Amino acid sequence: MKACVIGLKGHIVEFDFPSNLKNWRKTPILELLKSKLVKKARHRKIISVLKYLAKKVNHVTIATDYDREGELIGLEALEILKSVNPKLTFDRAKFSAITKEDVLKAFKNRQKINYNLASAALARQKIDLIWGCVLTRLLSLIHNRVSKKDFLSAGRVQSPVLRIIIEREEEIKNFVPVKYWQIGLIIEKHGEKIKLVSNERFISEEIAKKCLEKIENTCKVIDAQEKIVEEKKPIPFNTTEFLKEASMFFPPEKAMQIAEYLYMKGFISYPRTDNTVYPNTLDLKKNVKMLLNTEFKKYALLVLNQEKIIPSKGKKQTTDHPPIHITAPASREELSKEEFIIYELIARRFLATLYKNALWKINHYKFTAGNLSFEIKGKQLIEKGWREIYYYSKPEQIILPEFQKGEEVKIVKKYIEEKQTTPPKRYTEGEIIKIMEKLGLGTKSTRHEILQKLKQRKYISSRPLKPKETAYIIFNSLKEIAEEITMPNMTAELEKKMDLIEQGKLSEKEVVEQSKRKLKEILLKYFEKQATHSKKDA
């Protein structure tokens, strides 16, 4: 037969526990750890088509997304094909953008399947299933909430994230504001009035009043500095940076959904990447020129008219996919309003990473009056640089008149300000995703999904993130079972082991068994503690 292409809809098979362990009340929790997982069909129609085609072809090329999950999905399909046609030959096409050039290049330079990459995804799949099922059953049984609509769920990554959100909420609840007083001055120069606030904070209004009385009608400039400071252009978008910025417009899961659509349509590169360094093989100038026939022409010319294009670099450099960038021009007419918002964000970020740094003039003045110190900083954007392109964070300018060291400045008003300390703010979704990355919780592909699950299950509300009552029930119960389940360290350690599987330094089976032993150890300690309490009560 002639060559044909078949699309896959995510994982076409999945692991589960045997059906004889489905009864939550009758199945002892530890039986789940003794059991072997079974593989089940997830998309039967796709599997049927694969089996039909396997009889008619001699060679197959796997061209799924090149990351852990994509490699495993491709391997799942290959195993089904080979179960029908064991003599089938196969290879792998790797690309990061669905453009004609990238796809043709990938098929011209086909490679071997990366079994270690797939094994890392398989280990995660199994471990997340085991931990999720075991902890969910245990929590639900403890609280007698085992109906399909009322169970309590927990997970290996979900639980530490919930802890972070709850701990911030507790900080806010337990925060006790402390009053303090500061002295304010209004000074005048060339008819311009400027506000100064004392560096000193006073614990009582009476002390502040006494200090205020010592201030006369002028203050003295004791230091005057001016410097030009470069503000570095932003780093290229990896998934975390993209989701953080996109959260200005959409929840992370919505932003990723739109980015995936743009990728599938060939407008942007693969949106799941850790990389923040453009590879040398990426023709940056060519990609910029794509935008010359779009509404971004003005900004593309700014980049192209530079003597030399020097891209910014982040700290993370990987070889799987480049940072997220545009791969084709797009107009507002071609895309929906939401799609164009994300396309524009990526286009502007891409151009900004290739343009020059911004320049600021910083003035720093220190004053003294009545033995108190005051200071003020002025900042003026003197060269927009990348900010002309990437305008999402508006520059806050404070333009001051010039002061000279030793100068006496007229005070037109002096007063006391009563203030109080304020609690920390709740996290935004973008901030939590950055924290998750820092702590090694989840991956570029799963962080936004974890937040989505917490919202769907009504454990947290969003914008900003706030835990609900059920979240406290889960968190307090997990602390009682074993607090380490809620700590980021254990999950982050497991993420490192996934990397070692990918590198071929650990086996999938070895990591899964280690994880099961750890979970068993936690459960036995908990059951032992419960038995001790029961004896005491008796």
Same domain for 372 and 223? yes
Same domain for 533 and 431? yes
Residue 118 lies in a domain: no
Q: Which residue, among 281, 210, 273, 223, has the nearest Cα to 444 in the 3D structure?
A: 273
What is the DSSP code (8-state) at residue 293? G
CA distance 23 to 40: 18
* pLDDT reading at 538 higher than 60: no
Q: Tokens 């999904």 sit at which residue? A: 449
What is the CATH classification number for the domain harbouring 440? 1.10.460.10
* Per-residue model confidence (pLDDT) at position 100: 82
270 labelled catalytic = yes
Average pLDDT score over residue span 224-228: 96
* pLDDT reading at 482 higher than 90: no
Q: Which of 329, 352, 375 is the last residue in one of the domains?
A: 352
* pLDDT reading at 115 higher than 60: yes
Same domain for 413 and 482? no
Q: Which residue, among 402, 284, 262, has the nearest Cα to 341 in the 3D structure?
A: 262
Q: What is the DSSP string of 27-49?
A: S-HHHHHHSPPEEEES-HHHHHH
* Per-residue model confidence (pLDDT) at position 199: 96
Residue 203 lies in a domain: yes
Task: Give the pLDDT confidence of 183-223 residue by residue, as tens digits.
Answer: 999 999 988 999 999 999 999 999 999 999 999 999 999 99
* Per-residue model confidence (pLDDT) at position 210: 94
* pLDDT reading at 305 higher than 80: yes
Q: Which of 352, 382, 408 is the last residue in one of the domains?
A: 352
Same domain for 204 and 155? no
Residue 490's pLDDT band (boundaries 50, 70, 90)?
confident
Q: Which residues contact 170 (CB under 8 A, 6 or more apart)?
A: none
Q: What's the mean per-residue pLDDT of the chain?
A: 92
Strands 89-92 and 59-62: parallel
Average pLDDT score over residue span 5-27: 89
Instruction: Return the minimum-mean-pLDDT range out of 4-18, 291-305, 411-425.
Output: 4-18
What is the CATH classification number for the domain harbouring 341? 1.10.290.10
Q: Assess contact for 488 and 436: CB atoms under 8 A.
A: no
CA distance 355 to 421: 40
Catalytic residue, from 270, 299, 365, 390: name it.
270
Residues 398, 402, 405, 411: is their CA dihedral positive or negative?
A: negative
Q: Which of 403, 420, 437 is the last residue in one of the domains?
A: 420
Same domain for 199 and 288? no
Q: Kindly state the tokens that stand for 422.
A: 């304020």
Average pLDDT score over residue span 258-269: 94
* pLDDT reading at 320 higher than 80: no
Task: Give the pLDDT confidence of 118-146 residue by residue, as tens digits.
Answer: 999 999 999 999 999 999 999 999 888 87
* Per-residue model confidence (pLDDT) at position 536: 62
Residues 119, 123, 124, 129: is their CA dihedral positive or negative?
A: positive
Same domain for 430 and 492? yes
Residue 440 lies in a domain: yes
Q: Which residues contact 120 (CB under 8 A, 6 or more apart)?
A: 68, 498, 499, 501, 502, 508
179, containing H or E segment: strand 179-189
Residue 276 lies in a domain: yes
Task: Give the pLDDT confidence of 146-193 residue by residue, as tens digits.
Answer: 777 778 888 888 999 999 999 999 999 999 999 999 999 999 998 899
- When comparing pLDDT for 246 and 533, which is higher? 246
* Per-residue model confidence (pLDDT) at position 219: 95
Residue 147 lies in a domain: yes
Express as a percent the part of the chain with pLDDT over 70.
Answer: 99
Number of structural domains, the chain?
4
Same domain for 51 and 93? yes
Domain that holds residue 288: 239-352
Residue 480 CB neighbour total at 10 angstroms: 12
* pLDDT reading at 318 higher than 90: no
Q: Which residues contact 317 (CB under 8 A, 6 or more apart)?
A: 275, 276, 277
Same domain for 244 and 213? no
* Per-residue model confidence (pLDDT) at position 102: 86
Residue 401 lies in a domain: yes
Same domain for 367 and 226? yes
Angle at 238 between CA 237 and CA 244, to 5 degrees: 75
* Per-residue model confidence (pLDDT) at position 531: 75
* Per-residue model confidence (pLDDT) at position 442: 85
Taking each helix axis from N to C end, the angle separating 469-482 and 508-537, rounded to the nearest 10 degrees, works out to: 90
Task: Give the pLDDT confidence of 52-102 residue by residue, as tens digits.
Answer: 999 989 999 999 988 888 899 999 999 999 999 999 999 999 988 888 888
Same domain for 288 and 348? yes
Average pLDDT score over residue span 481-503: 88
Residue 411 lies in a domain: yes
Residue 26 lies in a domain: yes
Which residues in 314-388 belong to E strands, given as ranges? 358-369, 372-383
Same domain for 382 and 528? no
Express as a percent the part of the chain with pLDDT over 90.
Answer: 74
* Per-residue model confidence (pLDDT) at position 400: 94
Average pLDDT score over residue span 269-276: 92
pTM recorded for the entire structure: 0.86
* Per-residue model confidence (pLDDT) at position 533: 66
What is the CATH classification number for the domain harbouring 66? 3.40.50.140
Average pLDDT score over residue span 325-354: 96
* Per-residue model confidence (pLDDT) at position 389: 97
What is the CATH classification number for the domain harbouring 400? 2.70.20.10
* Per-residue model confidence (pLDDT) at position 101: 84
* pLDDT reading at 537 higher than 70: no
- When comparing pLDDT for 464 and 185, which is higher? 185
Residue 50 CB neighbour total at 10 angstroms: 22
- When comparing pLDDT for 445 and 33, which is higher? 33
Range 219-229 burial, b when 16+ CB lie within 10 A, else e: bebeebeeeee
Instruction: Return the minimum-mean-pLDDT range out of 295-299, 350-354, 451-455.
Output: 451-455
Same domain for 459 and 485? yes
